[in-house]
Amino acid sequence: MLYKQDMPSLSVVMPSMNEEETIRICIQKAQTIFKNYGIEGEIIVADNSSDRTAEIAASMGAKVIGPIKGYGNAYLKGLAEAKGDYIAIADADNTYDLLELDKFLDPLMAGEADFIMGTRLKGEIKKGAMPWLHQYIGNPILTAMLNFLFKTKISDAHCGMRAFTKESLEKMNLKTHGMELASEMIIEAARCGLRIKEVPITYYSRKAPSKLRSFQDGWRHVRFMMLYRPGPFLYIPGAFVFVLGFLITASLLLTENAAYNRLHSFILGSMLLIIGGQILATGGYMKTYGLIHGMYRDEKAGKKLLSYHSLERELLGGSLILALGLVIGLKVAYTWVISGYGSLKEVESAVISMVLAAVGLQLIFSAVFVSVMLLEVDTDW
């Protein structure tokens, strides 16, 4: 451990919500770290409590800001106030032992890394500290997804004890307001090329009831990764379903009477075409949202795709497909009328008409929706 004088200052940021039982010990531990390292430090408590948490924290010299609603908001506000050259974050419930901050600070101060993650899964998890669903299913799956999508190599993506340099914080474009900030921070660190290192830590059980909501919070992380990387979640599956539907439908149409004799396969292929188109459109919506909110770096291709002229072409294409579907549908209706409203062997034409109309409308509505999202954005895209 380092004990040198004139060390750069350290900021410890803690979000809190009704942690009056543990806030005192957390602040004491942080102050012990300041003393051990011989540095000037500050403790920032981003609070949204209805109990005495804020009062206790302020009485111990911490800077209390709030009330701030939302996990991500608390960190964004707290980090904005941090003045230290090094910044550490941890929950105020004493599940993370702030006396272990030396494991984070030493490699940062030695210049060995820019961003330090704690890992509970390679450290010690005390009995009752983490539900088995989180420890063996949720956390490993979400961590694996993040590693695959963003080329990281971490073992515990949702560990809340972390530390990084002030310079690294300024490089990361952190925006999210909820629990997904934990994922965003890692994604941004990887995208900025920060040197990420993991250190094993001990995880303790909470005294107060947990505020985590397993499935809701898990979905928020998945949704955020989907927003950053719509390809594996939407574009690739959507394209696969669409092409599969096209191949099934086209093969039956090219075989005489096959569509009529194999009606169920023909309907399946048509359904896959429509579903694939909807999945691809959803990917387009998410990509547009990400571009508008600056979530991608150097996305020239995406911006070009969303240009006004591209949207005009999408409207034109959708209108032509819809018109073709309506023409085929009118032909079926006309045949039905002149046959005396009797039974028809126009299954192929009727289904094709339905598919073309659905795909055409999807393109039109997609173009309209995207153009509405881009109303307040620079139209020179």
What pLDDT shows up at residue 379? 47
What pLDDT shows up at residue 381? 44
Flag the least confident range among 8-12, 43-47, 143-147, 207-211.
Answer: 207-211
DSSP for 172-225? S-----STTHHHHHHHHHHHTT--EEEEEEEE---SSPP---HHHHHHHHHHHH
pLDDT confidence band for 309 (50 / 70 / 90): low
What pLDDT shows up at residue 67? 92
Tell me what the mean pLDDT of segment 166-190 comes to: 92
Tell me what the mean pLDDT of segment 274-279 comes to: 93
What pLDDT shows up at residue 36? 94
pLDDT greater at residue 194 or residue 368: 194
What pLDDT shows up at residue 104? 97
Question: Is 66's pLDDT higher than 80?
Answer: yes
Contact 264, 228 (CB under 8 A): no
Residue 295: closest CA among 194, 196, 189, 188: 188
Burial class of residue 152, CB neighbours in 10 A (0-12, 13-18, 19+): middle
Q: What DSSP state is assigned to residue 9?
A: P
Q: What DSSP state is assigned to residue 94?
A: S
What pLDDT shows up at residue 257? 65
pLDDT in tens, 17-47: 999 999 999 999 999 999 999 999 999 999 9
Tell me what the mean pLDDT of segment 3-22 comes to: 80
* Options 3.10.180.10, 3.90.550.10, 3.30.70.1060, 3.30.1490.190; CATH of 10-226: 3.90.550.10
Tell me what the mean pLDDT of segment 151-158 comes to: 94
Tell me what the mean pLDDT of segment 107-129 comes to: 95
pLDDT in tens, 135-149: 899 899 999 999 999
pLDDT greater at residue 288 or residue 11: 11
What pLDDT shows up at residue 308? 59
What pLDDT shows up at residue 344? 58
Question: Is 374's pLDDT higher than 80?
Answer: no
pLDDT confidence band for 8 (50 / 70 / 90): low
What pLDDT shows up at residue 4? 45
Question: Is 194's pLDDT higher than 70?
Answer: yes
Where are the domain boundaries for CATH 3.90.550.10 in the chain?
10-226
Residue 47: closest CA among 33, 27, 29, 31: 27
Contact 141, 149 (CB under 8 A): no
Question: Is 119's pLDDT higher than 50?
Answer: yes
Tell me what the mean pLDDT of segment 245-271 comes to: 79
